[in-house]
């Protein structure tokens, strides 16, 4: 691989708290190693359109604690086409970009792989609140999103207890139940319904609610992962079956914003710096990951072929503790 002197950095897909910390680390580590760092705005769209600018140490001042991404982000339909991808490759040549750090989720990594295949070295950093990147135990934004969900559910619980109601709360996670299961354990949910595990309405939702009522419970929290959906209908069905008043809350995009937690800032900083170290050593086509609390990297194609699923022990634990 040719020597890498200039790197680009972009954020792609859904934003996640901590992406700014990762951008900051890429810029500052890059400059530390003597590289020129170019910011690419609005994900792959910015790459296709040449929306690119040189970053310096001050470009990333005062962003460590901010949610969102200063580079902005997009889900680019054009980049998924052959013409769009070729245009992106041409733009990297015009701007003299020798390698790119892509901060995002699986979809963004597929784009990074395609760029790599066309000779543009890339390194992916897992950034999504969903924690659904198979090669990594952790993705940037997950902890902050969980804390937001925890705060919201604690508040909902207060009012649910006052009214002796059941609250059905839908959380994000696309096709994955990581947010649901972790939030459910952290907030003491009676039932947690996730796409990874089949559920029976009567056995897994109605039975625990009725039994809890007999044990003197004054509220019920049912957490529904986005991949299952239908919180409003679920609340209606629970009310009809149990006679307990039920209300639905869909937490939505509140889960994606806010100042990143310490965990997200630190891991994002480590991953950002690691991505730059690889590129400056001439190593591309990798994905950064966290494994057993260590920052490691995988071949991008291998990473995309890996699978992971929620820990069944966590699912069981949630059930045991929901008494």
Other CB atoms within a 10 A radius of the CB of residue 312 amount to 10
Helix, coil or strand: residue 127:
strand
| Residue 130 C-beta: closest distance to ligand F6P, Å | 5
Q: Which residues bind ligand F6P (CB under 6 A)?
A: 14, 105, 128-130, 172-174, 226, 256
| Residue 138 C-beta: closest distance to ligand F6P, Å | 15
Nearest to ligand F6P of 46, 105 (CB atom) = 105
Catalytic residue among 114, 130, 132, 264: 130
Could you write out the DSSP letters of every residue in 172-231?
--TT--HHHHHHHHHHT-SEEE-TTS---IIIIIIHHHHHHHHTT---EEEEEETTT--H
Helix, coil or strand: residue 101:
strand
| Residue 229 C-beta: closest distance to ligand F6P, Å | 10
Separation CA 169–CA 157 (nearest Å): 11
| Residue 184 C-beta: closest distance to ligand F6P, Å | 16
Rounded to 5 degrees, φ, ψ at 145 are -60, -40
Separation CA 80–CA 106 (nearest Å): 13
Answer yes or no: 130 catalytic: yes
CA distances from 321 to 103, 164, 206, 216, 238 (A): 36, 20, 17, 16, 21
Separation CA 264–CA 266 (nearest Å): 6
Nearest to ligand F6P of 174, 237 (CB atom) = 174
Nearest to ligand F6P of 173, 184 (CB atom) = 173
The order of strands in the sheet holding 99-104 is 52-55, 36-40, 6-11, 99-104, 122-126, 286-291, 294-299
| Residue 155 C-beta: closest distance to ligand F6P, Å | 21
Nearest to ligand F6P of 46, 212 (CB atom) = 46
Nearest to ligand F6P of 8, 13 (CB atom) = 13
User: Which residues are designated catalytic?
Assistant: 130
């Amino acid at each position: 691989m040719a020597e890498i002197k200039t790197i680009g950095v972009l954020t792609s897909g859904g934003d996640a708290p901590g992406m700014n910390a990762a951008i900051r680390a890429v810029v500052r580590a890059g400059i530390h190693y003597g590289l020129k760092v170019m910011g690419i705005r609005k994900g792959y769209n910015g790459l296709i359109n040449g929306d690119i600018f040189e970053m310096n140490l001050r470009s990333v001042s005062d962003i460590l604690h901010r949610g969102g991404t200063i580079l902005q982000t997009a889900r680019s339909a054009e980049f998924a086409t052959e013409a769009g991808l070729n245009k992106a490759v041409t733009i990297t040549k015009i701007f003299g970009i020798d390698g790119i750090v892509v901060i995002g989720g699986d979809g963004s990594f597929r784009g990074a792989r395609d760029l790599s295949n066309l000779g543009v070295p890339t390194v992916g950093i897992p950034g999504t609140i969903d924690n659904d990147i198979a090669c990594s135990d952790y993705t940037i934004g997950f902890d902050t999103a969980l804390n937001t969900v925890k705060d919201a559910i604690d508040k909902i619980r207060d009012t649910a207890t006052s009214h002796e109601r059941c609250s059905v709360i839908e959380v994000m996670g696309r096709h994955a139940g990581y947010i649901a299961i972790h939030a459910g354990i952290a907030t003491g949910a009676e039932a947690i319904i996730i796409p990874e595990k089949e559920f029976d309405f009567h056995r897994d939702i109605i039975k625990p609610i009725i039994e809890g009522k007999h044990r003197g419970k004054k509220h019920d929290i049912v957490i529904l992962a986005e991949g299952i959906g239908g919180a409003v209908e679920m609340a209606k069905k629970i009310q009809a079956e149990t006679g307990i008043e039920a209300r639905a809350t869909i937490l939505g995009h509140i889960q994606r914003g806010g100042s990143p937690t310490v965990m997200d800032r630190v891991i994002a900083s480590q991953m950002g710096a690691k991505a730059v170290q690889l590129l400056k050593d001439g190593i591309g086509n990798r994905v950064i990951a966290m494994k057993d609390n260590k920052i490691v990297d995988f071949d991008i194609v291998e990473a995309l072929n890996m699978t992971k699923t929620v820990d069944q022990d966590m699912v069981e634990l949630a059930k045991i503790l929901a008494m």
